[in-house]
Amino acid sequence: MTGTAARRWAELQSGRGVPPEILAQAPADPWAHNPDDFAAPAVAADTPSRDAALALLGEGGTLIDVGCGGGDATFAVAERVRHATGVDRQRDMLELYIADAAARGLPARTVCGSWPESAAEAGTADVVVCHHVLHNVVDLPPFLRALTAAARRGVVVEMLTRHPMVWLDPLWARFHDLRRPPPATDEDAVAVLRELGVTPEVRHWDRERRPPHDPAWVARRLCLPADREPEVAAALAEVPPRSRSAATLIWRA
């Protein structure tokens, strides 16, 4: 049975969707992530998520990275990982992941598919990490349950404290006359976990500021054609900077 917190999460996330009439006119997929934006840095940032994963890995262990992208979460703790499995629904992300793993000499494999449907193929590992994926998910309980089930020791989830695209809400109003409902937060995710009988440790922190995305990127997100980019650039100048507020959720399996 779906609990109150899970229903609230699903409603808030559904409110972030793009109406079909706007999507139908989009010149490009507004949801697709560009692998170039997700290449892992050579030297990992020192974060609470990294600390938590290192603690769970102890002297060494296996790891599954759900929604791995270019492997930021994996490679941040590579020195303690004996074998890594990168799971992502975008094949081009997995190509980047496996190439970087090879370059770093880390034994790894990839599973292409959407979580939790791909969980059986991914199998189990000592530690499961999942960074910046929850805000893409509508039906959270099966997603979270599968993270726990895949982990022998524990799970580390990293997320922004509010939906990452909330900074573009003023531009949805301006360009599409679309008023967005409030975004889901890390507290909403924690409430869903509690309904599943899990009380995570939560650490709040600020990510290193990333440069704002360029007008071409934002125009695609807003389902606008390239010839609107100058207008988007002008509008972006009036939008407050993106929040850096992040949360790490840690629980034992």
In the bound complex, what is the minimum distance in angstroms from residue 224's beta carbon to ligand SAM?
21
Nearest distance from C-beta of residue 66 to ligand SAM, angstroms: 6
Q: Can you state the angle between helices 169-176 and 229-236, rounded to 10 degrees?
A: 140
Nearest distance, CB of residue 118 and ligand SAM, angstroms: 7
Q: Please, which residue, 136 or 148, has the CB nearer to ligand SAM?
A: 136
CB nearer to ligand SAM: give 138 or 233: 138
Q: Give the span between the Cα atoms of 129 and 131, in whole angstroms.
A: 7
Q: Closest approach of Cβ 62 to ligand SAM, in Å?
A: 18
CA pair distance 253, 248, nearest whole angstrom: 16
Nearer Cβ to ligand SAM, position 15 or 228? 15
Q: Do 79 and 70 touch, CB atoms closer than 8 A?
A: no
Which one, 165 or 235, has the nearer CB to ligand SAM? 165
Output the residue with the shortest Cβ distance to ligand SAM: 69
Q: What are phi and psi of 189, to 5 degrees?
A: -65, -40
Closest contact distance (angstroms) between CB of 50 and ligand SAM is 12
| 46, two tokens | 């020192």
Nearer to ligand SAM (CB atom), residue 159 or residue 171: 159
> What are the tokens at 155?
């799970």
Spatial contact of 78 and 104, defined as CB atoms under 8 Å apart: yes
Nearest approach in angstroms of CB 38 to ligand SAM is 5
Nearer CB in complex with ligand SAM: 143/175: 143
- Which of 118, 6, 108 minimizes the C-alpha distance to 66? 118
Applying CB under 6 A, which residues contact ligand SAM?
Answer: 33, 38, 67-69, 72-73, 87-90, 93, 114-115, 131-133, 136-137
User: Dihedral (C-alpha) 90, 153, 193, 244: value to the nearest 10 degrees?
Assistant: -60
Asked if 159 and 134 count as a contact pair (C-beta separation under 8 A), the reply is yes
Read off the tokens for 162.
């509010």
